[in-house]
Amino acid sequence: MKRKIAAIFAADIAGYSRLVAEDEEETLRRLASYREVVDDFIAKAGGRIFNTAGDAVLAEFPSAVDAVRCAIDIQESLRTRNMAYPPSRQMSFRIGITIGDVVERDGDLLGDGVNIAARLEGLAEVGGICVSRAVHEQVVNKLSVQFADIGAQEVKNIPTPVHAYMVAMRREDGTYATPQVKKAAAKVAAAPVWTWPLVVAVVSVTGIGVTGFLYNTKLKQTASVAATPTAAPSATPSSMSSAMPSATPTAAAAAPSPMPTQMAKAPMAPSSASAATAPIPAPSASPMSGKFSADSVPFINERVRNFLAGDYSAAGDYKAFALNVGGFTGSALNQPSEEAARNAAIEQCQKRADAAQSPRRCEIYAVGNNVVYPHGKPPMPPQPWVRHDAMIERPFASKDFPMVREPQKVRIENMFVPAAKSRSVALGPGGQYFMVLGASSADDAARRSLESCGAIAGTACMVVAIDDNFVVPIPTLFRITGFFNAASNASIVAEARGEVVRKLGDAAGWNAVAVGTSGRAGLGLKAADEQTAVNSALADCTKRDSDCHVIAIGPFTVGPIN
pLDDT (tens digit per residue) in 281-311: 334 446 888 899 999 999 999 999 999 999 9
Q: Is the dihedral of CA 113, 114, 116, 120 positive or negative?
A: positive
Q: From edge to edge, which strands make up the β-sheet containing 251-254?
A: 251-254, 433-436, 424-427, 462-466, 469-470, 394-395
- Maximum average pLDDT range among 355-359, 387-391, 469-473: 469-473
- Of 6, 169, 149, 166, nearest in space to 72 by CA: 169
Residue range 156-161: mean pLDDT, rounded: 82
Cα separation, 96 vs 8, in Å, equals 8
Query: What does pTM read for this prediction?
Result: 0.54
| Measured distance between the N- and C-terminal CA atoms of the chain, rounded to whole angstroms | 13
Q: From edge to edge, which strands make up the β-sheet containing 363-367?
A: 290-291, 370-371, 363-367, 320-323, 329-332
Which are the contacts of 58, defined by CB distance < 8 A and separation ≥ 6?
Answer: 8, 9, 10, 49, 50, 51, 52, 109, 114, 117, 118
For the chain, the structural domain boundaries read: 2-167, 241-248+284-371, 267-283+378-472, 478-561
197 pLDDT more than 50: no
**pLDDT 10s digits, 367-400:** 999 999 998 899 999 989 998 999 999 999 999 9
Helix axes 24-44, 64-82, angle to 10 degrees: 150
194 pLDDT more than 90: no
Cα separation, 268 vs 431, in Å, equals 8
pLDDT at 255: 37
2-167 adopts what CATH topology? Alpha-Beta Plaits (3.30.70)
Residue range 269-279: mean pLDDT, rounded: 30
Share of the chain above pLDDT 90, in %: 51
User: Using an 8 Å Cβ cutoff, are 505 and 462 in contact?
Assistant: no
Where would I find the beta strands (DSSP E) of 300-358? 320-323, 329-332
* pLDDT band at residue 333 using 50, 70 and 90 as cut-offs: very high
Residue 107's SS3 state is coil
